Structure 1
């Protein structure tokens, strides 16, 4: 299983093979939890494994160069290479060695807290509720063992975007499990790819006012690199009202190494626009259509309603005008 390179794909472009096995293990973990709740438990573990793999690869390099003055336990050596510093108590080897401990939930929570403390960009982002009584610790340990057999963060895995593809697969699975509410965090990959291909965001500011898990940004970055551009040719701006989905987006960008301004916290784009002065070159969005309760009664005189006041019981016209308001003079939206 660990040797699977993830070349098989399903119809939505995600790899098949060990992901199905992981999904079945994760599904056992759910017990009485909603999919909306336990997706953060599972994806949090993937993120932890990814940064641990990346860290261990750099740690091995530095260890081999100790005679030249390099220190494998110096956090600055990792930050210089854009690698997250992982404290000893948060490294995957430590967690897997304790996977069968009844305290494994507490240990994972402590690992997440330690990583946030050492990496300010992840503050208040990682899930820290693995010690909850509703989470079966035996099954959590089994999932940790299973994830431990898959390399997702070394150079080869990054080249094949193994974690990103597994992440997309799981987001699609969670979206299916959550049903009609899944649109809050996941837009199907083929729709995202079509929107990005149509707008072709080679360079400039990209904005998504309802960014969910950040799929539009991820695909835009892929588009730029596929056409010979550089990642820093685009600047990413987003906003998300759901607190857990906002954290999911932050993690999704972090695993890709994408710097993005998603605001300092989750917030409603209508009631508290976090990017008031932004004029974007590209707006890529799949807003929650037909929202009835969007706060329109308190926004009757808003500067964004250039083409008329939107209906109080339907947000569609409000979304369109919000996006037009944030477009640069030659900007495009889709």
Structure 2
């Protein structure tokens, strides 16, 4: 069994009746404490052995992007007292001490370990589990920590289920957007950043392409305060410095970056939210293509993202499938204006069953501020004005091993979607673009108008080529007709049997 499943299974037994959402922050908060302690103690040992260094000089740690951990907050000290009846209070004090000595972490760490509802035996068990995880206190740990973070967040998302249209963004979707958008240099923004998954994957993408994380600046906003803290922990543990902001009103009502523009925007906003205070925002300057209906925030999010794109910016947003075809509340008119205004670059229909705990179908909207080849001349992109790329990926994905409901896209499937998009954009080394029946189609505005500006990819890509099974047409026709006649006969027999049984009841 993998370490993720081992940890979750053991933790699941210990958490008892505790709410899954609360337990998530306890488990991941403890993982954070374990890592920063290991990272600190590793450097502390090195400095102690260097006669020209001072192991108690905090600037030494700052220079290495290592958090200063006060003595009482170090894992080695806490682990020795793990069976103490007050261990929960000690951990809370450790979190406060770390925040006090690290400005970037103020208000980010969970202080819930000392609550009466938290079982001390559960905390002791968790400490033993995390003590047995082999960490080096270096960036080599990030893969393991990231796997545990992603697994725990995903599992708890399934346990918590849907809340107000919000869902944990599955790795398949994050990877697809990252591979399509390719945030390598510039300003990256997520208006509803959750636990920071898009930012973490952006770092992995940059690293995989031999780039530098310092080449991007990260911005985000989150409404849920506990999730906001988790995002800051998630980024801090990897040394990713970001400007993440919180307010209780939420991004659409209180935009934390009203005057900022971004090169890349990635977002998975809550779907179909009706209580978003739309009636108070009728005249908002973000609604260039029409005021979103009061009863649904979907086109508020789509326009918010387009509004915040820089002159050559690209944005990707996960949306409910209804956004591609709904006509209610003026949504059809907004969609038409977006298409005619060349705000929509591409549409991707995703496979079903990607989301944890729900089978809700979703799609990707890829937005662009300027699809001409003018401002994008350096990148040698083709002029895409008057066209929209449609990709139908609904047939992709396979069930996750051990799951009857959860699907996941393979790396090759994700890559095939990204390749089609990059080829269509005319990017160097992406190859020549060609329409593929059943998969992708570059449609003109005239074609889209004939479909009344409905943006469902299946309407444009058509059916894929049928595989030749080698059976001659005449033989196949006779065989299928024979099967059809047999089914008709069986239908008549069943109909007669039902009538006889009903007659016996009279």
Q: Partner residue of 1:196?
A: 178
Query: In structure 2, the residue corresponding to 1:180 is in which secondary structure?
Result: coil
Q: Partner residue of 1:93?
A: 76
Q: 1:218–1:182: structure 2 CA closer, same or farther, 3 Å change rule?
A: farther
Query: In structure 1, the residue corresponding to 2:189 is in which secondary structure?
Result: strand
Q: Partner residue of 1:102?
A: 85
Superposition pairs for residues 260-275 of structure 1, below 5 Å?
260-263=242-245, 267-275=249-257
- CA distance in structure 2 between the partners assigned to 1:155 and 1:324 by the alignment: 38
- Shift of the alpha carbon at 1:18? 2.3
- CA distance in structure 2 between the partners assigned to 1:297 and 1:212 by the alignment: 25
Query: In structure 2, the residue corresponding to 1:262 is in which secondary structure?
Result: strand
- CA distance in structure 2 between the partners assigned to 1:277 and 1:33 by the alignment: 42
Q: Partner residue of 1:39?
A: 24
- CA distance in structure 2 between the partners assigned to 1:38 and 1:183 by the alignment: 21
Instruction: Flag the structure with higher strand content.
Output: 2
Decide which of 117, 123, 147 is 1:134's aligned counterpart.
117
- Shift of the alpha carbon at 1:183? 6.9
Q: Deviations over 1:8-42 (max 9, x none)?
A: xxxxxxxx622222212322342222111110011
Query: In structure 1, the residue corresponding to 2:228 is in which secondary structure?
Result: helix
TM-score (norm 2): 0.61
**Residue 163 (structure 2) pairs with residue 181 (structure 1):** yes
Instruction: Flag the structure with higher helix content.
Output: 1
TM-score (norm 1): 0.91
Q: Partner residue of 2:47?
A: 62
Q: Partner residue of 2:38?
A: 53
8 Å contact from structure 2 (residues 274, 295) kept in 1: yes
Q: Partner residue of 1:246?
A: 228
Q: Which has the higher contact order (CA 8 A, sep 6+)?
A: 1
Q: Partner residue of 1:4?
A: none
Q: Deviations over 1:61-111 (max 9, x none)?
A: 01111x23x122222221111100001100001111000010000000000
Q: Deviations over 1:120-157 (max 9, x none)?
A: 11000100011111111012111101101113352374
Q: Partner residue of 1:288?
A: 270
Q: CA RMSD in A?
A: 1.6
**Residue 317 (structure 2) pairs with residue 325 (structure 1):** no
Q: Partner residue of 1:231?
A: 213
- CA distance in structure 2 between the partners assigned to 1:229 and 1:266 by the alignment: 36
Q: 1:223–1:316: structure 2 CA closer, same or farther, 3 Å change rule?
A: same
Larger radius of gyration: 2
Q: Partner residue of 2:12?
A: 27
